[in-house]
Amino acid sequence: MASMTTRSDNPASSRFPVGRQAFPHRDLTGIGRLQRHEILFLLAEAQQWVEFNRQSAKHGDLLTGLTVINAFFENSTRTLLSFEIAGKRLGADVVNMHAAQSSVKKGETLIDTAITLNAMRADAIVIRHGSSGATQLIADQVDCPVLNAGDGQHEHPTQALLDALALREALVARGQSADDFTGLTITICGDILHSRVARSNLLCLQALGATVRLCAPPALMPTGIEAMGAEVHHDFDAALKGADVVMMLRLQTERMSGQFIPSPREYHHLYGLTKRRLGYASGDALVMHPGPMNRGVEIDSDVADMIDRSIITRQVEMGVAIRMACLEVLTRARRGVKGWS
Ligand code: CP
């Protein structure tokens, strides 16, 4: 078995309040509920799992005997698989519930589904749902930690955390600060209106000190988003000017009723990240995308695959480490870890 650290021998943990004060939440429903030091705590905890996951043998036992249920009411590749891998690498029994094959299809309500999962004595429930607030609704009905794997247009907290971890790693590789994103300008461009990723990232990146620019066609920009402290742009070239990081988002057609853009071709012309357009950003700007990508629409392949600038596959790698950290930290009380009950 690969060697495994716990909080007590994780050097990063000494920078944070002791025990439960470091992360006094039962659930992870949104970045909006977290303090800056709590975000940094999860990032620091995840770092040990990044290293653990790079070993050839990567099976631990901290969560042995615990049952993690991944209840996904919407499609997913990255989030579902990485939560499953994360739970298994920590030694938990992981069960996936796909809504398409569940009794939801027979008319069972979300609350009755939650009560059913709770009766099976899950030790953690990971939820993805198409309705904003669904995760909190379930959290209010169950006795175990609930982790939001994306709820409607509200939040996707573990995505924002993994994005921060990937960005931090890239900055450290360039000799820059690990924890403080002050002075960094990050342009997020795409379907901001329907994006829980944009919302969680805005909250997370600002908490870490970054300046965030949001760019979208007027029809895909939420009204009043400036109140959250973002710079709002509709001209992509202007939004890119001098940016240190460019994060592209796909058009979430599954959430659109009616036509929001004239055509994918016209959208690409105005808002697609091409190599030429990346030239408006800073000379070594990093490129990010949470996936899934629609190549040739919001991002060109020759940008998405730039080995020296794109950290898109690193984002996926960090997803497993972040989800391990979240599952491990949120189950400490149940596991009777000293200072966490
Ligand atoms: N980024 C993300 O949430 O991807 P999936 O929909 O594949 O989980």
Q: What is the pLDDT of residues 78-115, one digit of tens each?
A: 999 999 999 999 999 999 998 888 888 888 999 999 99
Digit-coded pLDDT (tens) for 177-198:
777 899 999 999 999 999 999 9
Q: Which residue, among 267, 265, 273, has the nearest Cα to 309 in the 3D structure?
A: 273
Supply the residue whose CA is at minimum distance from atom 6 of ligand 1: 76
CA of 79 relative to ligand 1 center, distance in Å:
5
Tell whether the model's pLDDT for residue 176 goes beyond 90.
Answer: no
State residue 264's pLDDT score. Answer: 87
Confidence of residue 5 (pLDDT cuts 50, 70, 90): very low
CA of 81 relative to ligand 1 center, distance in Å:
9
Tell whether the model's pLDDT for residue 40 goes beyond 50.
Answer: yes
Ligand 1 atom having least distance to the Cα of 319: 1
- The CA distances from residue 153 to 132, 173, 196, 198, in Å, are 6, 33, 5, 9
Rounded Cα distance between 148 and 29, Å, is 5
pTM summary value: 0.95
State residue 220's pLDDT score. Answer: 96
User: Residues near ligand 1 with C-beta < 6 Å?
Assistant: 76-79, 150, 159, 290-292
CA of 99 relative to ligand 1 center, distance in Å:
16
Name all domains of the chain by residue range, CATH numbers in brackets: 7-156+317-335 (3.40.50.1370), 158-316 (3.40.50.1370)
Better pLDDT: 326 or 262: 326
Q: Span 284-295, mean pLDDT?
A: 97
Which of 79, 201, 255 most suits a substitution to test ligand 1, by most atoms within 8 Å of the C-beta?
Answer: 79
Confidence of residue 76 (pLDDT cuts 50, 70, 90): very high
Q: Which residue, among 239, 190, 245, has the nearest Cα to 219 in the 3D structure?
A: 190
Q: Span 41-63, mean pLDDT?
A: 97
